[in-house]
Structure 1
């Protein structure tokens, strides 16, 4: 981590910590249980060679105990809701790094925190990002008891605007999540209808950030937006606007629902858009408004940031056993022998764990039983999918020669195992915050 980013993170936590101390007569800890240990929620992937993003993570069950206090964790920024009974968030505006968390402490009764579009017209989320809420479903006036906490891990970059619904006219906050970009492209550089740079070669899992110098442009690789746009097979298209039909023209707003995506939604000057590439291949993208002139390409190499061998030479081990990464990096596990798997799901083993509020990962399908209704499938040892089941099959294994990729987009320590041999086969992944190389370079130039 650079000195500049370390100092910014220190000042950010110092300010939030001071607000927390001033707002509460006694220390209110952030001890909350890992919801995956209780509910078994989580997403997984079973596609060979493909990683899966961790979804934005919530932690809704609060506690007023001191055990597990996170106020001094540099990857967790503290925000107070209702300090001294005031109808405001303190601080109101927060900037954090990708994969870091915000923990709201509710210092007085009658408040909540949400960026759900349906909860308030003031709410806003980056395109295609999951909104967050301190309550379940659409119970927008559901509040958090005084003294309890709510934590959310931000794994999609961009700006979020959120409110306390009962006091939305005064309790408004913003969260700016840095992209941790590996490459930067300027849109309409010096007013020209072009991308600068218009051709990139990046590694698996790397993030590209587009900076809009001029209004009236967008970025899209959706084939329906232009004949000049395309993505590799099995890859999802990306765009600087929402790709859900009926999504509004501005970030996070809801318009009348339609059957078609509006591919002419543009961005304002000085806005940014970031996208992480998790499938190798060639992507052709355009500004759909000027798709003959403004064309760019991104070549994603099939090169992960770290590799781990599962059962090397038949041994019950991971090699290497410990890996250190930066947020956004991809790890690839290669199975030298059949009959093993990779999982950080706490239900699979007492030796498996993930940071609080973070989705677990596994080399098998974790979608089974997500909603408690038995909907979903799981992979059998022979690679076939079985029908609906109430439980995740944590003993689903991989064949020799297969691979499993996972991109880590949340800061913290992960302990994973082979669920079949969880006493012998244990590994750890330590994910550090983004080093902000671009910021330190700019500081050096100044």
Structure 2
């Protein structure tokens, strides 16, 4: 990541932090800064209040003068109800993939939600999970004054959200940059084609399609055209919603961060939906974009369904991760290297040189394991044990075999999206075999803006 891009992102977030400090000065300056951690939404998000917490200082809430969250370039601050006004400040924010937005509620009677069932004004990128500061369909449930709510965004695109009690005036947007590795122009100069029409990329890389004209789409769904295909085990992708027909509020409480595992990020696409429920002719407007992260190696054939005989493209995903780690090199109880630094969206591959080991960041596996806020634990073994018995989800912690190991020569891949630090272990030797992954905000490659920030 370039120093210029890092500095520009820091300056952008610093500006919102200054706004937060000024807005809160007259609203919550007298609070003591203590807070409680509620049950959460199950999506890596937090609602924190000034009541009931032991005040251990692990996470700041912007109220006690000791919080450093506004100085974190991966967290953008937004104030809900500054000076009692029915608005968000700022109303529009632009963040990178895997970064967070933290809302501080400077006055009572507000909430935050992008759930389609909560307001007609709400919008989410295709196949992205919505977010809310409450659980289920309690759309008028508000957050206590002085509390904070944080959400980590792991799907790129534009989100429009509201405060439900004041949806006519309290509307905001979050633009999540795709951190694209490659770009493809759709219908350049009015020509019915993709430019380039063939790409070769690495594992976990993101491609962004830029629509120059309206009336087109991008899809690899097998029901959309005879000219589409994806590798075995890969989910189809599309620039339109592949989860049509689901209940508006279904999925509330699911963690967006689940998509980080290689091959799972687009599990939200629900390819098992009946094709008749999906509008494969839904198109995008001029100047809109669509991004997709490729997490399964192989060849993908995609089309514009409106012109599927002319507009055909291919993406070849090479089986090449961004970083590799050897497990038990030469029989030693170690990871090599022990520490890895990445950008959001990068893939790590662990190669097991000896049998009898595993890789896990699940907190139930070891006291030495932890993941960044907004991310699901990862492991080289099955974390969805006994799904049928438990009605879906990860299953009870007791049902997961944290001592399941891999054979010599096997590999395990994981794509990291949420920014922050991860600590993982071999659960069999969790005192000796400890590793760390540091995920930084991705570079956005905007050299012109970077130079302006440096000036």
> Match of 1:19?
19
* 1:361 alignment counterpart: 378
More deviation, 393-402/267-276: 393-402
Q: Does 1:141 align with 2:151?
A: no
Distance in structure 1 (CA, Å) of the matches to 2:158 and 2:368:
36
Match of 1:290 in 2: 307
* Equivalent position SS for 1:307: strand
Deviation at 1:284, TM superposition (A): 0.3
- 1:146-202 CA distance string (max 9 Å, x none): 111111110110000001111111111100000000000000000110000100000
- Describe how 1:154-233 pairs up with structure 2 within 5 A: 154-233=153-232
Q: Secondary structure at the match of 2:277?
A: coil
Gapped regions of structure 2 (runs ≥ 5): 61-68, 248-273
In structure 1, the residue matched to 2:88 is 89
Q: What is the rounded CA distance, in whole Å, between the counterparts of 1:120 and 1:76 in structure 2?
A: 26
Give the alignment's TM-score, normalised by structure 2: 0.84
User: Which residue in the other structure is 1:253 paired with?
Assistant: none
Q: Given the two structures, how large is their TM-score scaled by the length of structure 1?
A: 0.85
Q: CA deviation at 1:62?
A: 4.1
Of 154-163 and 353-362, deviating more is 353-362
SS state of the match for residue 24, structure 1? helix
Once the two structures are superposed, the pairs formed by residues 375-414 of structure 1 within 5 Å of their partners are: 375=391, 391-414=399-422
Query: C-alpha separation between the residues in 2 aligned to 1:416 and 1:92?
Result: 38
Maintained 8 Å contact 2:41/2:134: no
Is contact 1:28-1:66 (8 Å) kept? no
Find out whether 1:421 has 2:438 as its counterpart: no
Counterpart in 1 of 2:44? 57
Aligned twin of 2:444: 436
* Aligned counterparts, 1:241-252, within 5 A: 241-246=240-245
Deviations 1:406-432 (A, max 9, x none): 001111111100111110000001111
Work out whether 1:262 is the aligned partner of 2:279. yes
Corresponding residue SS for 2:98: coil
The farther-off stretch of 223-232 and 62-71 is 62-71
Alignment partners' CA distance in 1, 2:34 and 2:230: 43
Cα distance change, pair 307–389 in 1 and its aligned pair in 2 (3 A): closer
Equivalent pair of 2:343/2:440 in contact (CA under 8 Å): yes
DSSP 3-state at the match of 2:103: strand
CA offsets 1:64-106 (integer angstroms, 9 cap, x no match): 7582321211101111111111111111100001110011111
Deviation at 1:443, TM superposition (A): 7.1
Confirm whether residue 150 of structure 1 aligns to residue 149 of structure 2.
yes
Q: Cα distance 1:329–1:197, how it changes in 2: closer, same or farther (>3 A)? A: same
CA distance in 2, matches of 1:14, 1:181: 24
Say which is worse superposed, 71-80 or 352-361, in terms of deviation.
352-361
Give 1:38-53 correspondences, 5 Å limit. Answer: none
CA contact (8 A) 1:27 1:66 kept: no
Aligned residue pairs, count: 411
Structure 1 residues 348 and 232, CA, compared in 2 at 3 Å: closer, same or farther?
Answer: same
- Asked whether the equivalents of residues 228 and 285 of structure 1 are also in contact (C-alpha less than 8 Å), the reply is yes
Q: Is the 8 A contact 2:329 2:353 kept in 1?
A: yes
Contact preservation (8 Å) 2:364, 2:397 = no
Cα-to-partner distance string for 1:116-157 (whole Å, 9 max, x where unaligned): 111111000001111111111111111111111111110110
1:264-279 matches, within 5 Å, as: 264-279=281-296
Q: Which runs of 5 or more structure 1 residues have no equivalent in the other structure?
A: 42-55, 249-256, 379-386
Alignment partner, residue 345 of structure 1: 362
In structure 1, C-alpha distance between the alignment counterparts of 2:24 and 2:449, rounded to whole Å: 39
Q: What does the per-residue CA deviation read over 1:354-376, in whole Å, with 9 as the maximum and x for residues that have no partner?
A: 122322211122234889x7345
**8 Å contact kept, 1:374–1:389:** no
- C-alpha separation between the residues in 2 aligned to 1:443 and 1:359? 32
SS in 1 for 2:70: coil
Give the aligned CA root-mean-square deviation in angstroms.
Answer: 2.8
Task: Report deviation, 1:308.
Answer: 0.7
More displaced 10-residue stretch of structure 1: 156-165 or 1-10:
1-10
1:332 lines up with 2:349 in the alignment: yes
